[in-house]
Chain A
Amino acid sequence: MSRTPYEWEDRLVALLLRHAAEGEAIHEKLARLVDILEAEEKALGRVTGKAPEKEGEQRYDHRLIEQHIPDGASVLDLGCGAGTLLSRLIQEKRVRGQGVEIDNAKVLECVANGVPVFQTNLDHGLGMFPDQSFDFVVLEKTVQTLNRPLPVLQEMVRVGKQGIVTFPNFGHWQMRLDLALNGRMPVTRAFPYEWYESPNIRPLTLNDFDACVQCQGMRIVEGHAVVGNTVRPLEPDDNLFAEEVMLIIEKAA
């Protein structure tokens, strides 16, 4: 049984109707909360069910990362997939690029895409890369899939001058409501898997990450959020409104 994103809305309405008589007060409040959240997000430009980029367009996160990386920089992409990002960076920005990927099929695609790739498991460490040997170390939508994410984050700021981390934000209000009201693990655009097949074994929120990097001796120096169909610099309430985030991290001085 699979659920489509935002199905929780219908369920919530049904739930509210069923219980309207007995618990009016609290459900009216809940309904009002959803109205408020939706209005808030609409004001931020949300279009339900639509990806931040249209089909065939470059992924928004790649666009963001590209904007951040200057010509001729060196980039290590952890969990680089088929090497799409690095391939562009190598061609457009003449970066010295190195990918790291575990998947057998994807490393072959990297070779086909002309991207140097080192096949390894991130959870086994990055000992082969010396300190500060890259300008940027990218970890795209991967941190939530790692067995031991903390050593990887530490390695990122050891190997790179800056780390670029993107992940889906489990703190988004839809996730919270879906879990709270349906009592099921949320299935949304950003978290599209059922619990039993999800690679996202460590779902985390923006605030979780923020707290974590602080106690790991790192800091977030810059951030962007996907809110509805817009991508914009991070704002204070984004733990509630960001579907995905892109964060630049550094070792704290």
Chain B
Amino acid sequence: MLDVNWARTVFPPGALDDPASVGLTSAHTVTLADENSPFRLDTGEFIAPVDVEYETYGTLSAARDNVVLVVHALSGDAHVAGWDYDAIQTGRKWRLRKPGWWDTVVGPGKPLDTRRYFLICANVLGSCYGTTGPGSPNPRTGQPYGLSFPMVTVGDWVNLQARLLDHLGIERILAVVGGSLGGQQVIEWMMAYPDRVEKAIVLAASAKLSAQGLAFNAVGRQTIMSDPNFNGGNYYGGPVPAQGLSAARMLAHITYLSDAAMDMKFGRRYRNKTKPDFDFGIEFEVESYLAYQGQSFVERFDANSYLYITRAMDYYDAAERWGGGNLVEACSRVTADTMVVSFSSDWLYPPAQCRELAAAFCQCGKPVTYIEVPSSYGHDAFLVETEIVGKLLADFLARERKR
């Protein structure tokens, strides 16, 4: 079915020969809601149709007891590992250069071992990677939704993932794993569907975003909405609000690093020169890096999706949703074995806030694992500290359930 010989000519040399890689992947798309069975959103609105793009890796066991649901972060997608066979066809050409976003831990013999587990990752509602989002046609008008797309929440994402599992005939999952905004989906999973989750792994995430986090998101959205090309979200088919989206990404990227990490990586070095030019062009290495991050993000992300997803991140508050404002009450619903992992230099979801989530488990008498990984990589550490995170994932998944 997949033309491997052709694929060899488009992916980096040797990429498809790596025995620890899942190799070529091809996403699935399924319509999980139509006019007859619309999907009910947290806001009370209904949406149909809803398509979901998802990928799977490994083989579902006969007993259907080896499912690990991976949930992606803000700018992530369903392409977790391997090389996307459809990258050219779908216009996602950056995937020709890079494997999936968590290729370091997902694959045969890797911590999320595809010889052992059946991994599923679905792109979230409102995103721009095949699941219905603001760039999809609004059935009422035939035009892209733009800002007429309904507001979506982390709860909606998880409900939709549950619907996907229903569709796949999977009742219980062995584990749900995610970092950052993905980690918040893990929290939502263990609270919304306690009977369906055996183990939950929350990386670099807390039960709600801090005021500082809200503030960063607000500025990011503002830069997008004040871009002259934004046009109230109706820019499809014309020039996109590239400047705004790029600046939003640059700002966000700062929050993913740390003071120490930036200092280590760039310091105050000038870009390709030893003396300044005394102008407002790109003078420093760090400026160049951020500009590159911003530009490459514009290539692969939709500004409206960015608005919707950061809004969902803002709204999420597990205590509010499940405990009437009391996190301990919310955690008392959980039956999954839970591990919360924070990273010492993360200032987007700081250790103290991740710890608060774990402490709420202690407060309601539930065993919990809370680890604070020493790292200078900031929030990005959950993707960068692959050795330690990989070991934690592998060990936590492998252990027998003792309760």
Contacts and interface: CB of A to CB of B under 8 A. Distances in A.
**Physical interaction between A and B:** yes
Interface of A: 74, 90-91, 94, 96-98, 104, 107-108, 110-112, 114, 116-120, 127-130, 133
Contacts of A104: 373-374
Contacts of B372: 119
B396 A111 contact: yes
- Name the prevailing secondary structure of the A interface residues: mixed
A118 B370 contact: yes
A114 B362 contact: no
A111 B402 CA distance: 13
Contacts of B269: none
A118 B363 contact: no
B395 to A, nearest CB: 4
B339 A129 contact: no
Contacts of A133: 365
Contact of A107 (B367, B371, B403): B371
Contacts of B360: 128
Most chain A C-beta atoms within 10 Å of own C-beta, residue among B360, B371, B400: B371
Interface string B380-403: 000000001001100110011011
16 contacts: A104-B373, A107-B371, A108-B391, A110-B369, A111-B339, A111-B392, A111-B396, A111-B399, A112-B391, A114-B402, A116-B367, A116-B368, A118-B370, A127-B359, A128-B362, A129-B363
B365 A90 contact: no
B358 interface: yes
Nearest to B356: A128
Contacts of A116: 337, 367-369
User: Which 10 pairs, one residue from A and one from B, show the smallest C-beta to C-beta distance?
Assistant: A128-B359, A116-B367, A114-B399, A128-B362, A112-B395, A111-B395, A118-B370, A116-B369, A98-B367, A119-B371
Contacts of A114: 399-400, 402
A133 B362 CA distance: 9
Nearest to A110: B369
B367 A96 contact: yes
B368 A118 contact: yes
Nearest to A109: B395
Interface residues of B, number: 26
A119 B362 contact: no
A83 to B, nearest CB: 10
Given A90-B402, A119-B372, 10 more contacts: A94-B402, A97-B367, A104-B374, A107-B371, A111-B371, A116-B368, A118-B358, A120-B370, A130-B365, A133-B365
- Name the prevailing secondary structure of the B interface residues: mixed
Contacts of B337: 116
Given A116-B369, A119-B372, A129 B362 contact: yes
B403 A111 contact: no
A181 B388 CA distance: 49
Contacts of B402: 90-91, 94, 114
A110 B368 CA distance: 12
A105 to B, nearest CB: 10
A74 B365 CA distance: 10
Most chain B C-beta atoms within 10 Å of own C-beta, residue among A110, A111, A114, A130: A111
B362 A98 contact: yes
A125 B370 CA distance: 15
Contacts of B368: 98, 116, 118
A97 B368 CA distance: 10
Contact of B370 (A96, A119, A130): A119
A129 to B, nearest CB: 5
A91 B402 CA distance: 8
Interface in B326-375: 337, 339, 355, 358-360, 362-363, 365, 367-374
Nearest to B399: A114
Interface string B98-136: 000000000000000000000000000000000000000
B36 to A, nearest CB: 45
Most chain B C-beta atoms within 10 Å of own C-beta, residue among A91, A98, A116, A129: A116
A96 B367 CA distance: 7
Interface in B212-246: none
Given A107-B371, A111-B392, A119-B372, A96 B363 contact: no
Contacts of A97: 367
Contacts of A117: 369-371
Most chain A C-beta atoms within 10 Å of own C-beta, residue among B372, B396, B400: B372
Contact of A108 (B359, B388, B403): B388
A235 B392 CA distance: 45
A51 B159 CA distance: 58
Interface string B66-79: 00000000000000
Nearest to A126: B362
Nearest to B392: A111
Contacts of A74: 365
B174 to A, nearest CB: 15
Contacts of A120: 355, 370
B401 to A, nearest CB: 9
Nearest to B360: A128
